[in-house]
Amino acid sequence: MRLRYQYLIAGIAWALLLGPLVCLLLVAVAAGVSWLWLFGDSPWPQATRWVLLLIGGVGGIAAAAASIVAAYLHGRRREALPPAARRGEHWKILTLISVPLLLLVVLGLGIVRQDREYTKAMTAATQREAAFAALLGTRHRITELTVVRSPDDAFHAAVQLAGEREGDYRLHWRVTDSGMGVDLAAGEQPLHLERGERRVDFTFGLDDLARGYRANVLHGKGGVLVDEPFRLDVSIGPLFSYAERQELPPGERRRLERGESPLNSARNTSFAGRFIIQNDGSIKK
């Protein structure tokens, strides 16, 4: 086979490599320029996709054609040389053919591996979302919240829970005033819940509210009659082991840390309270 045709084969091999690479590079550059100086985060025109593909396609075809033509012309020039000057030319051509083909194989294997990893990651994410949806439907929720005041000025809160998930939970509660929403009393307790319904009770006193009101609303002052509704907020959320947390969707793990997870269940109610805080800090009921 004449040298020009051997170099032509080498040019075709390089065209197979350079054409797609140049096409992808031009599409990426054109998209970056369009985002920076033309459209930004605004909706892009529908025709933009075809324009980007056209730019990349024209550039890729031009690069492939240039490599083929350059290789063919170089082969013709080498043919014109004396045989002594063309010694070892076949090894040179073999190298020129092998390098792009080897690079294509490496890139192809990389794409296949990346596609497998992406498929694996998407499958794992789908499984996490399905498990999370099941957990969301079975975790314990607050179905009812009531507060009753006893004759000894203690407030008894009853929290009715229902759910199917068995495991550890943590219950938080806090009482705030109706005017400024300042915390007056708060508490928490761990729970181990079984499947079905359960009632959880806790108690706080009128003295607790009065002391919290004097410290956090009046800032240590007194001489005030307080007669207003107070608000009790109660929330409950599951406690997970490290392994269980890793099975949650990544975004859900962050929401759970911030207390914004839909896995938490919350309810509030209001109740009346009346007391007098004396100037000396004593409380009169």
- Could you read off the pLDDT of 84-126 as tens digits, one per residue? 767 778 888 888 899 999 999 998 899 899 989 988 988 888 8
* Amino acid making up residue 218: L
pLDDT band for position 285 (cuts 50, 70, 90)? confident
- Same-domain check for residues 269 and 150: yes
Q: Are 6 and 93 in contact (CB under 8 A)?
A: yes
Domain boundary among 104, 135, 166: 135
pLDDT band for position 13 (cuts 50, 70, 90)? very high
Provide the CA 282 distance to its chain's centre, in angstroms. Answer: 51
Among 23, 16, 15, residue whose Cα is nearest residue 66: 15
- Same-domain check for residues 215 and 115: no
- Same-domain check for residues 48 and 69: yes
- Same-domain check for residues 108 and 220: no
- Same-domain check for residues 199 and 116: no
More confident residue, 143 or 220: 143
- Same-domain check for residues 124 and 197: no
Q: Are 118 and 163 in contact (CB under 8 A)?
A: no
Average pLDDT over every residue of 1-25 = 89
Is the pLDDT assigned to residue 147 strictly greater than 90? yes
- Same-domain check for residues 130 and 234: no
Is the pLDDT assigned to residue 1 strictly greater than 80? no
Is the pLDDT assigned to residue 15 strictly greater than 90? yes
Flag the least confident range among 51-60, 86-95, 140-149: 86-95
Q: Give the DSSP letter of residue 181.
A: -
pLDDT band for position 252 (cuts 50, 70, 90)? confident
- Same-domain check for residues 148 and 280: yes
CATH code, 171 = 2.60.40.2150
Domain boundary among 77, 100, 135: 135
Count of domains for the chain: 2
Residue 192 is encoded by which pair of tokens? 């181990």
- Same-domain check for residues 123 and 153: no
Domain boundary among 135, 163, 198: 135
- Pair type for strands 265-277 and 283-284: antiparallel
- Same-domain check for residues 131 and 159: no
- Same-domain check for residues 180 and 275: yes
Secondary structure class of 140 (helix, strand, coil): coil
- Same-domain check for residues 35 and 117: yes
Average pLDDT over every residue of 230-243 = 91
pLDDT band for position 44 (cuts 50, 70, 90)? confident
Q: pLDDT tens across 148-189, in order?
A: 999 888 999 999 999 999 999 999 999 999 878 899 999 999
Using CA atoms in the order 120, 122, 124, 125, what is the torsion angle rounded to 10 degrees? 160
pLDDT of residue 196: 94
pLDDT band for position 269 (cuts 50, 70, 90)? very high
Residue 259 belongs to domain spanning = 142-284
